[in-house]
């Protein structure tokens, strides 16, 4: 049940943004065994004045940097997360062509009781 928030600079065409969503969904299906149809993702496009991405940690980022925050059940292992990071970077490199240096991923773990996917119920608690 991942929930993704993707932030990038404004100005990319719709096909570029769709390629990001498609690649992220594929990476989650492959690395986390996310079920078919489990797609809860948003993209926020920000004007350059509202988007800053530094070059810390020995990574030189460009204006094409993408910030990806993924909230998942707190049952994912470190190995699954590492596989996810690698797969995201690989797939975004293929389509839409984002350099791995420009892929910033943050995974947040949340207990299952913190999720309601509809009807006011805690389906996973």
Q: Is the peptide bond before 96 cis (omega within 30 degrees of 0)?
A: yes
Enumerate the active-site residues. Answer: 2
Helix, strand, coil percentages, rounded to 5, for the chain: 40, 25, 40
Other beta carbons less than 10 A from residue 115's beta carbon? 17
Query: Residue 95 in contact with residue 23, Cβ under 8 Å?
Result: yes
Taking Cα atoms as reference points, which of 43, 52, 48 lies closest to residue 20? Answer: 43
Query: Residue 41 in contact with residue 4, Cβ under 8 Å?
Result: yes
Taking Cα atoms as reference points, which of 67, 73, 69 lies closest to residue 35? Answer: 73
């Amino acid at each position: 049940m991942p929930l993704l928030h993707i932030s990038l600079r404004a100005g990319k065409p719709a096909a570029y943004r769709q390629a990001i969503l498609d690649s992220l969904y594929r990476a989650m299906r492959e690395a986390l065994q996310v079920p078919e149809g489990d797609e809860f993702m948003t993209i926020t496009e920000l004007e350059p004045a509202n988007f800053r991405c530094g070059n810390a940690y020995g990574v030189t980022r460009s204006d094409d940097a993408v910030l990806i925050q993924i909230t998942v059940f707190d049952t994912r292992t470190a190995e699954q997360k590492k596989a996810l990071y690698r797969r995201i970077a690989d797939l975004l490199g293929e389509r839409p062509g984002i350099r791995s240096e420009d892929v910033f991923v943050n995974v947040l773990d949340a207990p299952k009781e913190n999720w309601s996917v509809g009807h006011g119920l805690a389906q996973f608690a």
